[in-house]
């Protein structure tokens, strides 16, 4: 057990235990297990824990191949996985687009305001005036009955085929820089070109996330593969840590999303 834990951070142990429970359920009952939506880091953990297990396999799907948030489907090795096993629903939000401009936080905030967990929703996408989102099929009827407004704006939901999901157009640029340490405040300052004095209160006030989880410690040690997001500044990923320079600074490669 400790051999599994040593590859992850301490705060990820609870989720690892949950994944092990899912695996045991599939093993002992010979029946599949469908999870809620997982962020990319959680997907990495599930893949690592399940690994090359002979009796239990795992597949991920979030409505399209390029989705960020996906449901995991753990299944016995004899099972043939179908897209329908992931139980997903795609909704398009119909609203007065001439007068209202919706943003991701408005849509998600209103859905969460219905008392539903974030884990029941997948990606939310925008293209021009079109707004769509993926959700777990088990809450689709509840949304149809209760989700009628975003803020003060009246909306309607129209169910669409998954094949109509908006294609992601997220762009990214590669940045190479050096830092004195892998502390969160140091990394964030270098990526977003803001002072440590400015980024520290953002971290302490819960406005900075590492791997989709708020981190409030400025001294938090970042690692290769971590995804960082700062409210109002965007999202980035530490693609690679290339070792140290002659001046004893870490050389890092960053993927910065526009």
Residues 6+ away with beta carbon under 8 Å from 54: 77
Domains of the chain: 26-86 (3.30.1370.160), 88-163 (3.30.70.330), 172-257 (3.10.290.10)
For 113, phi then psi, to 5°, come to -65, -15
Residues 6+ away with beta carbon under 8 Å from 200: 185, 218
Q: Determine the distance from the C-alpha atom of residue 223 to the mean position of all C-alpha atoms in its chain, rounded to a whole number.
A: 17
Dump pLDDT digits (tens) for 106-137: 999 999 999 999 999 999 999 888 999 999 99
- Statement: the pTM of the whole predicted model exceeds 0.75: yes
Q: Quote the pLDDT of residue 67.
A: 95
Residue 99's alpha-carbon distances to 79, 91, 93, in angstroms, are 49, 21, 15
Dump pLDDT digits (tens) for 174-189: 999 999 999 999 999 9
Distance CA 191, CA 179 (A): 10
Dump pLDDT digits (tens) for 225-234: 999 999 888 8
CB 27 within 8 Å of CB 41? no
**Calculated CA dihedral for residues 227, 128, 99, 140, nearest 10 degrees:** -70
Dump pLDDT digits (tens) for 13-29: 999 999 999 999 999 98
């Amino acid at each position: 057990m400790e051999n599994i834990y040593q590859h992850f951070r301490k705060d990820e142990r609870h989720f690892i235990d949950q994944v092990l429970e899912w695996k045991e359920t599939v093993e002992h009952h010979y029946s599949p297990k469908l999870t809620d939506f997982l962020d990319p880091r959680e997907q990495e953990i599930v893949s690592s824990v399940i690994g090359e297990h002979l009796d239990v396999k795992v597949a991920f799907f979030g409505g399209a191949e390029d989705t960020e948030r996906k449901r995991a489907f753990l299944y016995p090795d004899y099972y043939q996985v179908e897209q329908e096993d992931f139980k997903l629903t795609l909704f398009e939000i119909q609203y007065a687009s001439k007068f209202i401009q919706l943003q991701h936080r408005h849509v998600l905030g209103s859905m969460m305001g219905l008392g539903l967990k974030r884990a029941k929703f997948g990606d939310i996408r925008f293209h021009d005036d079109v707004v769509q989102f993926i959700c777990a099929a088990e809450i689709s009827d509840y949304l149809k009955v209760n989700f009628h407004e975003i803020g003060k704006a009246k909306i309607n939901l129209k169910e669409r085929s998954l094949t109509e999901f908006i294609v992601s157009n997220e762009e990214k640029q590669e940045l190479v820089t050096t830092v004195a340490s892998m502390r969160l405040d140091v990394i964030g300052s270098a990526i977003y070109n803001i002072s440590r004095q400015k980024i520290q209160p953002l971290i302490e006030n819960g406005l900075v996330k590492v791997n989709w989880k708020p981190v409030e410690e400025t001294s938090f040690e970042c690692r290769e593969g971590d995804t960082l997001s700062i409210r109002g500044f965007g999202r980035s990923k530490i693609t690679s840590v290339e070792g140290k320079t002659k001046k004893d600074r870490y050389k890092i490669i960053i993927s910065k999303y526009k």
